[in-house]
Amino acid sequence: MKTDILPKADQAAMVVRPILIVDDSRAHRRLLARSLAKWGYETIEAGSGEEALKIAADTQVDIVVSDWMMPGMNGVEFCRAFRAQCGDRPAYFILLTAQTEREALAEGLESGADDFLSKPFNSVELRARLRAGERVVNAQLDLAGKNAALSTALSDLSDAYSAIERDLAGARKFQEGLVPDRYLKADTVEVSMLFQPSGHVGGDLVGYFHASPDILGVYSVDVSGHGVASALMTARVASYLSDAAPDRNIALTQDGDGYRMIDLSEVCGRLNAILMADVDSDQYLTMSIAKVDKTSGAVELCQAGHPSPLVQRADGTVEMIEMFSTPIGLIDDGDYASHHIQLDFGDRLMLYSDGLTECPDPEDRLLDDEGLEEIMGERADLAGPDLVQSLQKALVDFRGSEDFPDDLSAVLIERADRRGS
């Protein structure tokens, strides 16, 4: 290819592959080929549309210059067949024609032609049309390359997303495993739990641990933020409040051959010191924790920035125990006060995260304390898992959807009503 004939700017823009010339007149083909050779182009010649299709099947061409009037397959028919054969492969098609009627030109465009040139052709005009064709083909090739790269990237992204989905599904199962059995019956006390993350994984945690033969520890935790980081923190907190390894449980201390539960304000203080010592994390959490005597129904409560615990008496009346303490992991000298209540037979205590009271309806109005009190009051005749299930359904009805903006979690502590037994 005689690229030295062209200016450098033209050389850089040139299509490398040869131009296909299609004309039944050998003299016309040679005349056109000589003109193109002067401008640095290589050419391939075909004397008919059928011959040109065979050439295009074996050799990729970017520009085709074809006569319109040819015996057998004319230029329009060849153009249509060429486009069908090449599929989405970029190519610029110029028809040489003496036609001037609009209907005829429209037919050429509908067949897939990109441009027309009148016969006999003007050399300056032909060269300009070829340069235009080069720019179009190069742009199409560039776009095709970018589309291929994008498709590859999207495929890689889809694979990565699928891997993340699998990991998150595994993480959800792991987090659900941190929550013990959703129902526990221990002496006169029954514990039922609600746990529904708003995403794959969440920052809420509910649970219990056996502190001693008579004492049960029950807690509700809400870690700041959402997602994997918060879920990892809940796993960490779960390890600090587990009876699977009582020597690591920060709420327990050795007492002879067994363990006993320490004051709850000290439990919160211990957990606060652990989180404040972690300089690489800016996460904090709110928590309500209860120390429940399974025999007498005496309960010690401590709240650290968590919503006010809810007590419902046997007669159905509901009250909020207003307690105000700082969240855990926020400041060094957090103050955590305890509160004592008595659960008589038929009474219940609920610890819950703000996902319940801050649940919005379709108009973004929050359920709030009053709404939660109303829901519990209307379900005073229910108990245990039935009450938890009904509470969850009431929240769905209030929200108007099962898609919640925050995690839902609650732990219900009930003193079994044995007065009639």
Q: What pLDDT score does 308 carry? A: 94
Return the CATH architecture of domain 3-147: 3-Layer(aba) Sandwich (3.40)
pLDDT at 16: 52
On the question of pLDDT at 205 being above 60, the answer is yes
For residues 222 and 287, the answer to whether their CB atoms sit within 8 Å is yes
Is it the case that residue 200 has pLDDT exceeding 70?
Answer: no
At 101-150, the pLDDT tens digits run 666 677 777 888 888 888 777 888 888 888 888 888 888 888 888 888 88
Query: Count H helices, E strands: the chain?
Result: 11, 18
pLDDT tens by residue, 11-67 = 444 445 789 999 999 999 999 999 899 888 899 999 999 999 999 998 888 899 999
- Interacting residues of 176 by C-beta distance below 8 A, sequence separation 6+: 195
Q: Give the model's pLDDT for residue 172.
A: 58
Which CATH superfamily groups domain 179-415? PPM-type phosphatase domain (3.60.40.10)
pLDDT at residue 2, as a whole number:
39
Domain ranges, ordered by start, for the chain: 3-147, 179-415
- The pLDDT assigned to 113 comes to 85
- Residue 9: pLDDT band by 50, 70, 90 thresholds? very low
Report the C-alpha gap between 244 and 259 in whole angstroms: 13
- What's phi and psi for 259, nearest 5 deg? -135, 160
Q: What is the pairing mode between strands 215-223 and 252-255? A: unpaired
Residue 60 pLDDT: 86
Using the Cα atoms of residue 37, residue 41, residue 45 and residue 49 in order, give the sign of their dihedral: negative
State the chain's mean pLDDT as an integer.
Answer: 86
For residue 131 the two structure tokens come to 């340069």
Residue 115 Cα to chain centre, angstroms: 47
User: Which residue has tokens 């889809």?
Assistant: 158
Average pLDDT over residues 246-255: 92
Instruction: Calculate the CA 196 to chain-centre distance.
Output: 18
Residue 196: per-residue pLDDT? 87
The pLDDT assigned to 110 comes to 81
- The larger pLDDT score, comparing residue 169 to residue 63, is at 63
Condensed to tens digits (0 to 9), the pLDDT of residues 279-317 reads 677 789 999 999 999 999 999 999 999 999 999 999 999
Residue range 404-409: mean pLDDT, rounded: 90
Residue 318 CB neighbours (<10 A): 19
DSSP labels, 187-250: TTEEEEEEEE-SSSS-SEEEEEEE-SSSEEEEEEEEESS-SHHHHHHHHHHHHHT-SSSGGG-T
Q: Are 21 and 59 in contact (CB under 8 A)?
A: no
- Is residue 396 within 8 Å of residue 331, measured between CB atoms? no
Q: How confident is the model at residue 165 (pLDDT cuts 50, 70, 90)?
A: low
Q: Band of the pLDDT at 421, cuts 50, 70, 90?
A: very low
Most confident of the following: 10-14, 46-50, 242-246, 321-325: 46-50
- In 3-state terms, the chain is what percent helix, strand and coil (to 5)? 40, 25, 35
Those residues with Cβ within 8 angstroms of residue 332's Cβ, 6 or more apart along the chain or in another chain: 272, 276
What confidence tens digit (pLDDT) does each residue in 338-380 have?
999 999 999 999 999 999 999 999 999 999 999 999 999 999 9
Give the pLDDT of residue 10: 45
> 397 in helix, strand or coil?
helix
CA pair distance 15, 147, nearest whole angstrom:
20
Quickly state the pLDDT bin for 391 (edges 50, 70, 90).
very high
R_g of the chain, CA atoms, integer Å? 39
Would you say the CATH fold of 179-415 matches that of 3-147? no
Contacts made by residues 260-263, CB under 8 angstroms, sequence distance 24+: 260/211, 260/212, 260/215, 261/211, 261/212, 261/215, 261/217, 261/291, 263/300, 263/338
